[in-house]
Amino acid sequence: MSKAMLIDTTRCIGCRGCQVACKSWHNLPGERTTFSETWSNPRHMNSNNYTRIIFREVAQPDGKLNWYFVKRQCMHCLDPACESVCPVGALTKLKDGPVVYDDDKCIGCRYCMMACPFQVPKFEWGKAVPLIRKCDFCADRIAIGLAPSCSTACPSQALVFGERGDLLKEAHRRIGAHPGKYYPEVYGEKIVGGTAKLYLTPVSFEALELDHRGFRTDLGNVPYGIYGREWMSKVPWVALGVGGLAVGLFYINKRRAEVQDQKSQEGKED
């Protein structure tokens, strides 16, 4: 069965323990951070930061500020666009859930970065011979029966690791049990064909204004890879059609030229 993670943003306290745990498990370098107009730190996901908490302050009608913490990382789509587009098959969806990347295959074309509907794959721009980097759902930990490092580190059980089916049931149970507390949709249940990361939020993702921050709501429920695969399924027929037509016309032209030659020769004999 496919593993997944239920991210209940109402439980998140914004401690960023998951960010630290991710860095330690993946041996990623720390970096000097600075204050800015947002509490989110670092400012962007990149090849050294596979996950980060987005801090959102949303003003309520009564003037009060509401805090929202939304964890961002690879969504581990059930049918990933990146896997579909990679020309050398460097990205693969494993049976138990993670979408993993093979360092030894990648040619660095960056098509996965262009195609990912969540803009997750990042490039090692600082290196002379760069590779793609992204959250791997701690595939090595899952393989030996451990939970991903971020969910192990989470102190408030905002990151629950488990079977996707079970977690979906749990998500809908929570929505049903606390009608005012949750927005009644699970982000990740259906979007782009479903993802392994399932989000519960108090308000909709539109209201959180995360469209430009990697959580689009207009992606539809069709896996993006389908568009490429549809095209590829037509390729052999186009090849046969064009090839056949070309050969056919070539021979018709040749025959016509021969007939003309013969006629003109016959004309001379007369």
Partner 1 sequence: MAENKEKWYPGEGKLTTGHAVLYIILVLGLISAIIRLFFGLGATTNLNDAYPWGLWISFDVLSGVALAAGGFTMAAAIYIFNLKKFEPLLRPAKLSAFIGYLVFVVGLFFDLGQPWRIWHPMVMWNPHSVLFEVSWCVMLYTTVLGIDILIMALERWKKYELVAIFRNLYLVLVVAGVMLSTLHQSSLGALFLLMPEKMSDLWASRAIGPLFFTSAVIGGMGVVILESLISSWAYNRKVELKLLSALSKGLGLALLVYFAMKVTDLYARGATVWAFDKPHFFFYLELFGTVALPAILLTFSEVRNSIKGLYWAAGLAAFGVVLNRFNVSLTSYGGYRDFSYFPSAIEIILTLALIAGGILIFDWGTRYLPVYQSELTGKTH
In whole angstroms, the minimum distance from the beta carbon of 213 to partner 1 comes to: 9
Considering beta carbons, is residue 108 or 176 the nearer one to partner 1?
108
Listed in sequence order, the residues at least 6 apart from 118 whose beta carbon sits closer than 8 Å to its beta carbon are 74, 75, 214, 215, 216
Does 87 interact with partner 1 (rule: CB under 8 A)?
yes
Does 247 interact with partner 1 (rule: CB under 8 A)?
yes
In whole angstroms, the minimum distance from the beta carbon of 129 to partner 1 comes to: 6
In whole angstroms, the minimum distance from the beta carbon of 141 to partner 1 comes to: 26
Does 44 interact with partner 1 (rule: CB under 8 A)?
yes
CA distances from 95 to 117, 140, 226 (A): 21, 13, 19
Tokens found for residue 35:
């204050």
Decide if 5 contacts 169 (C-beta within 8 A): no
Decide if 71 contacts 51 (C-beta within 8 A): yes
Residue among 48, 57, 50, 60 at smallest CA distance from 14: 57
β-bridge partners, 92: 100
Does 243 interact with partner 1 (rule: CB under 8 A)?
yes
Site string for partner 1, 119-158 (x = CB under 8 A): x--xxxxxxxxxx---------------------------
CA distances from 150 to 53, 74, 120 (A): 12, 13, 17
The region of 66-74, 138-146, 160-168, 219-227 touching partner 1 under the rule CB under 8 A is 219-227
In whole angstroms, the minimum distance from the beta carbon of 78 to partner 1 comes to: 15
Could you give the angle at the alpha carbon of 228 between the alpha carbons of 139 and 196, nearest 5°?
30
> Residue from 17, 97, 98, 117 that binds partner 1 (CB under 8 A)?
117
Does 1 interact with partner 1 (rule: CB under 8 A)?
no
Amino acid at 98: P
Decide if 146 contacts 162 (C-beta within 8 A): no
The region of 29-37, 146-154, 159-167, 241-249 touching partner 1 under the rule CB under 8 A is 241-249
Positions that interact with partner 1 (CB under 8 A): 44-46, 81, 83-90, 105-111, 113-115, 117, 119, 122-131, 212, 216, 218-219, 224-225, 227-229, 231-232, 235, 238-239, 242-243, 245-247, 249-250, 253, 256
